[in-house]
Chains A and B, each alone.
Chain A
Amino acid sequence: MKKSRKILAITAASALVFGMGACSGNPGTGSSSAGGDSKAPVEITYLHRLPDGEGMVKVDDIVARWNKEHPEIQVKATKFDGNAQQMIQRLETDVNANNGPCLGQLGYNEVPEFYSKGLVLDVTTEANKYKDKFSGAFGQMSTGGKISGLPQDTGPLVYFYNETEFKNLGITVPKTLDEFKTAAAKAAVAGKYIADFTPDEVAFWLSAQTAAAGGVWYGTSGDQWKVQVDSPASQKVATFWQDMIDAKSVLTLDRWGDAYGKALTDGQLIGNIAAAWEFAFLLDPLNDTPAEGQWRVAQIPDFGAGAKTGPDGGSGVAVMKGCEHPVEAMQFNAWFNTQVDDLTTQGLVVAALGNPKTPAKALKQFGGQEIMKELATANKNLSMDFAYIPGFSAVGPKAVETAAEAAKGTAKVADVFTTAQQASIDALKAAGLSVAQ
C-alpha cells in the first residue's frame, strides 16, 4: 500500500518533468499566427549580448527607431547578462523548450554547432536578398551551403602599436615575419615588447594566423571532415612565435589578465597582433596618461600569403528554430545590422559594407587616425576559406592549456596545434560526425 503510493508519486512527478513538450507549444512569438486579424503586428524577439555600455548608442534605442518606422513588425530586444557560453546554453534550452527567441546572436564558431543540432532555420533565400549589403563575413553564417542568418561584426587580425615608442626605438611597422622578429629583438633590448603571446586567446588568435598564412584548420573530403590543424601554414606560425619566445623578445601574458593592462600602462608592451574589435577598449587603461594618443593601427605582417588576414571572433544574428515569422525577422535583421554607425559605437567592426565614422573616443585614443578605414582594409583582406567544426568550443580550452605551458617554456608552440588537432578529432567523433583519417 505504502510502496505503491510512493511509486505513484514518483510517476506523477516524472510526468511533470518529462511531459515538457506537450503543454508548452505556445511560443511567445506567435501572437498573430492564429489567423484572425491579419493586421495585428508581427512580433519578433531578439536575444543579444551587446555591451550597451557608456557612450554607446543603446540597442533598445536602435530597435525603437525600427518599431516606429515599422508598425507591422514590432521587435523586442532582450539583453542577456551572462557570457557567450551561457548565452549559447540559454538559447539551446529555450529553443528546445519551444520558447526560443526569433533572432539570437551567435559567434561564427557556434554556427556549425547550432546547425548540426537543428537549432537554427534555413533562411538561405531570404539571406541572399541582402547579400550585397555585407562583406565576405556573409559566408560565415553559412553551413554546408545553408544560411541561417546575417553577419553582425568581424574580427580580422590587425596590428596595434605605439607610434611614438616605435620612433624612439628607431623601428617601423614590420611588413614580414622576419622584420617582425628583428624589430622585436631590437625593442626587447630596451625592455620594450612589440608583441605578446596570449595563451588564453590561442584558439581564435592562432587559428586566425594560420588563415593569414593561407591555411585552414578544417577541410572536407566528401562527406567527411579533414582535420588539418597541424598543417604547414600552422607550423610556420608556430615557428614564428617559438623563435621570439625563445629569444625572450615577446611577453607571454594572458590577454584577459590584469597583468596585460599593467604592461600597457607601464609602457612595457608597445604593440600587439590582435582582433580588430579590440580598438574599442584596448587603450582604455591609457586614458589620461602621457601615452594617450600615441597608438596607431596597421595591417599585420605578411604571414606568407600576401595581404591576407584571418578571422578572430565576430558574430552574426541567426534565425532560431520555432520562429514563426522568419521573413519579417530577416527584414529586421538586415536593417539592424546595417545601422553601421550605431553598431560601431557598441565597439563592433561592423560586417555590413559602409564607411563608418571613427568614434570620437577612438579618434582621441589613436591620435586622430581614421582607424575605421584601416580596419575596413583588414576586413577586405579577411580570409574567406576558414571554417569551424561543430564542437569547436571544446577545442579551444585544450589548446589554451597547452599554450599556457608554451608560455612558461614547458611546451612548444607547435604542441598547441598538435593538441588542437587531437581535440578536434575527439570532438567530432564524440558528436557522431565523420572524420577522414
Chain B
Amino acid sequence: MSVITSTAPRRPMSSADQATSPEGRTKTTGRQRMGRNTRHQAISGWLFALPFALAFLLVFVLPIISAVRASFFAQVASGGLYGGGERQDTFVGFDNFVTAATSLSFWRGIGRVMLFGVIQIPVMILAAMFLALLLDSFMVRRPGVWRLLYFLPYAIPGIIAAIVWSYLYQPELSPFAGAFPSMGGSPFFLSPQVMLASMANITTWTYTGYNMLIFLAALQAIPTELTEAARVDGASGWQITTQIKIPMVRGAALLATLLSIIGTVQLFNEPSMMRAVASWMGNDYMPMMMAYNTMMGQISPSGSGPASAISILIAAVAGVLAVAYAIVQSRMSR
C-alpha cells in the first residue's frame, strides 16, 4: 500500500511521509515540541479518520468476519431422504477451501479472468488517460460536455446495459452483428472464441469514462503555472504532456489500474448478463459468478460456507495480483 504513497505525484513531502515507523518517535528529525506535536498529530489524525473507520468497521469488517466464520462451516444433513427435516451447522475445517481450490472450474475461471484483464485493463486505462489528456488540453471547446457524455455509460443501470448489449450482439436484432460469421453454431459475438472480447467491450464501454474522470481530477490538480512556466521555457505541448502531466497523474493511474485488477477478478455483471443469451457459458464461467451461484444454491456443494470459501480465495488471488502489480510498478519507476 505504501507504493501508492511513494509514486504519488511528487510534491513537498508531507510530514507523514518523513516518518518511517508509524509512531514516528524513533526517527524524528530533532525538531522541538515533538512530543506535543506527535500527540496532536495522533489525536487530530484519528479524529479525521474516525467517521470512515467506524462506518468501514460496520459495513466491511463485521460482514467479512462473519463470512470468514461461515467458510469453516457447512450445513449437512444426517443422511436419509431428507435428513430428518433439519440440517446441522457443522465445523468442517478447511474442507470448503480444499473443495474450491481443487475445483477445475474455479481455476478455469481464474484463467479467463486473467486473460481478460491482461488485455482489457491496459486498453481501458490508456484510452481513459488519452481522453483525459485531450480534454485537459486547450484543444477542446466545452470539455464539460464531452466529459459528461463519455461518463454517461457508467450511469446506465447494469440491467439496462445488459439488455442494450444483448440486442446489439444478437444477429437477429442487431444492426451490425449479422455481418459477422457464426462460429461453431453460435452467433459471432456470443461464441466461445469471441465471448471474452465481447465482455471486455462492455466493460470498456462502461468504465472508460469513469477512469477518465479519475485522471481528469488528477490533471486538474496540476497548477497551470507549472505548465505555463514550461511553455515559457520553450517546451512543446508534447513535452509538457509526457514530462509534466503524465508523471503527475501516475499516482492516479496506479490507483485506477489496481482497482481495475481487483474489479476484473470480481467480474460478475458482464458474464451474468451474457449468459442470459449464451447458455453454453454455464454458471461458473468466472470465479465471482461461481461464488454467487454457489451461495444461491445453483452449484453444489452450495450454501454460504462453500460460497464464502470461494470468495476468500478470489480475494486472495486479487490481493496477490494487486500486490504483484504494485511491486512491479515500483521497481520499474525506480
Contacts and interface: CB of A to CB of B under 8 A. Distances in A.
**A-B interaction:** yes
Interface stretch (A111-119, A329-337, A341-349): A111-119
Given A116-B77, A430-B302, A433-B77, A18 B279 contact: no
A259 B276 CA distance: 12
B72 to A, nearest CB: 13
A136 interface: no
B283 A434 contact: no
A433 B298 contact: no
Contact of A257 (B81, B185, B277): B277
Contacts of B295: 89
B98 to A, nearest CB: 14
Interface in A378-404: 390-391, 393-394, 396-398, 400-401, 403-404
B297 interface: yes
Contacts of A398: 282
B35 interface: no
B137 to A, nearest CB: 42
A409 interface: yes
Interface SS, A side: helix
B301 to A, nearest CB: 4
Interface SS, B side: loop
A432 B283 contact: no
Interface stretch (B61-69, B198-206, B312-320): B61-69
Contacts of A407: 185
B184 interface: yes
A172 interface: no
B28 interface: no
B79 A259 contact: no
Interface stretch (A173-181, A209-217, A218-226): A218-226
Contacts of B293: 397
A251 to B, nearest CB: 11
Interface in A390-437: 390-391, 393-394, 396-398, 400-401, 403-405, 407-410, 423, 426-427, 430-434
B297 A391 contact: yes
Contacts of B296: 85-86, 88-89, 393
A220 B65 contact: no
Nearest to B191: A408
A258 B300 CA distance: 30
A118 B86 contact: yes
Contacts of A16: 62
A396 B282 CA distance: 10
Given A262-B172, A394-B300, A434 B62 contact: no
A13 interface: yes
A218 to B, nearest CB: 10
Interface in B277-292: 277-283
A397 B185 contact: no
Among A117, A220, A426, which residue has the most Cβ atoms of chain B within 10 A?
Answer: A117
A394 B279 contact: no
Nearest to A10: B65
B302 A391 contact: yes
Contact of A401 (B65, B184, B185, B280): B280
Interface residues of B, number: 44
A394 B297 CA distance: 6
Contact of A262 (B173, B186, B280, B298): B173
A197 B8 CA distance: 57
A257 to B, nearest CB: 5
B300 A112 contact: no
B226 to A, nearest CB: 43
Contact of B185 (A220, A409, A431): A409
Interface string B207-239: 000000000000000000000000000000000
Contacts of A146: 85
A395 to B, nearest CB: 8
A398 B298 CA distance: 9
B82 A144 contact: yes
B62 A431 contact: no
A118 B89 CA distance: 12
Interface in B45-74: 57, 61-63, 65-66, 69
A25 to B, nearest CB: 18
A431 B77 contact: yes
Interface in A261-298: 262-263
B90 to A, nearest CB: 9
Nearest to A14: B65
A256 B276 contact: yes
A396 B170 CA distance: 24
Contact of B82 (A390, A394, A409): A390
A200 interface: yes
A254 B279 contact: yes
Contacts of B184: 408, 410
Nearest to B184: A408
A18 B72 CA distance: 14
A117 B277 CA distance: 33
A266 to B, nearest CB: 8
B257 interface: no
Contacts of B155: none
B82 A116 contact: yes
A393 B65 contact: no
A408 B185 contact: yes
Contact of B65 (A13, A118, A225, A397): A13
A13 B279 contact: no
B65 to A, nearest CB: 6
B154 interface: no
A257 B87 contact: no
Given A116-B87, A394-B300, 19 more contacts: A10-B65, A13-B57, A16-B62, A18-B66, A117-B87, A143-B82, A144-B85, A223-B79, A225-B81, A259-B173, A391-B300, A393-B297, A397-B293, A397-B298, A408-B184, A408-B185, A409-B185, A433-B79, A434-B81
Interface of A: 10, 13-14, 16-18, 85-86, 88-89, 112-113, 115-118, 143-144, 146, 199-200, 220, 223-225, 254, 256-259, 262-263, 390-391, 393-394, 396-398, 400-401, 403-405, 407-410, 423, 426-427, 430-434
Top 8 closest A-B pairs, CB basis? A408-B185, A430-B301, A404-B280, A394-B300, A427-B300, A432-B76, A432-B77, A118-B86
Interface of B: 57, 61-63, 65-66, 69, 75-83, 85-87, 166-167, 170, 172-173, 184-186, 276-283, 293, 295-302
